[in-house]
Amino acid sequence: MADQANCIFCKIVAGTIPSYKLYEDAMTLAFLDINPGNPGHALVIPKAHAANLYASADKDLAAVMATVRKVAAAVEKTVSPDGLNLLQANGPGAAQSVFHFHMHILPRRNGDELKMNWGLKPGDKGELAALAVKIRANL
Ligand code: DGP
């Protein structure tokens, strides 16, 4: 897992490697994904390094979401997609490849065939109810 010293997104924040910057404020930065799933695919990051959701400070997450809304509206206006997904990965099993928290803003096109790594099948209602109790207990 990358630490602050060799984190590619920290280098983008510092300006030591280039990015297609979209927006910046005191706490967040938005730029285009270098490997876009569709045109307009953008990333929003906190300037403060945190590897993933669990390591992130509430104030950084709040600031990121405010930037996500601002940038998503601009992406929507710019590329007029058929829809737009917000995505965020934690850990290699969820296909996280850069270990600095980031939200994907991913414009979608009808029939674009972009796939996430899970299938849609209904959960068992009993298991869902039991799991909800366990997760609530951990809040
Ligand atoms: P994830 O798999 O959720 O960790 O997404 C990481 C994204 O970061 C991936 O879509 C590609 C993108 N990415 C990786 N390196 C760079 C980079 O140097 N610049 C930019 N703009 N994006 C990058």
* Tens digit of each residue's pLDDT (9 = 90 or more) over 102-139: 999 999 999 998 887 655 578 889 998 888 888 888 88
Q: Which two tokens stand for residue 108?
A: 């979608």
pLDDT at 19 over 70: yes
pLDDT at residue 6, as a whole number: 92
pLDDT at 30 over 90: yes
Give the atom of ligand 1 at the shortest distance from the alpha carbon of 87: 3
pLDDT at residue 118, as a whole number: 56
Active-site residues, by number, are 102
Q: Considering its fold, how many domains does the chain have in total?
A: 1
pLDDT at 2 over 80: no
Nearest CA to ligand 1 atom 13: 34
* Contact indicator for 68, 23 with CB cutoff of 8 Å: no
Least Cα distance to 47 among 69, 70, 23, 77 occurs for 23
pLDDT at residue 3, as a whole number: 58
User: For all residues of the chain together, what is the average pLDDT?
Assistant: 91
Centroid of ligand 1 to alpha carbon of 110 (angstroms): 24
pLDDT at 93 over 70: yes
pLDDT at residue 1, as a whole number: 40
* Contact indicator for 100, 30 with CB cutoff of 8 Å: no
Cα separation, 88 vs 94, in Å, equals 9
Report the residue among 45, 86, 98 best suited for mutation to probe ligand 1: largest number of ligand atoms under 8 A from its CB: 98
Question: The domain containing residue 37 runs over which residues?
Answer: 2-137
pLDDT at residue 56, as a whole number: 98
Least Cα distance to 100 among 41, 40, 28, 36 occurs for 28
- φ, ψ dihedrals at 88, nearest 5°: -155, 130
pLDDT at 60 over 90: yes
Residue 45: give its domain's CATH number.
Answer: 3.30.428.10
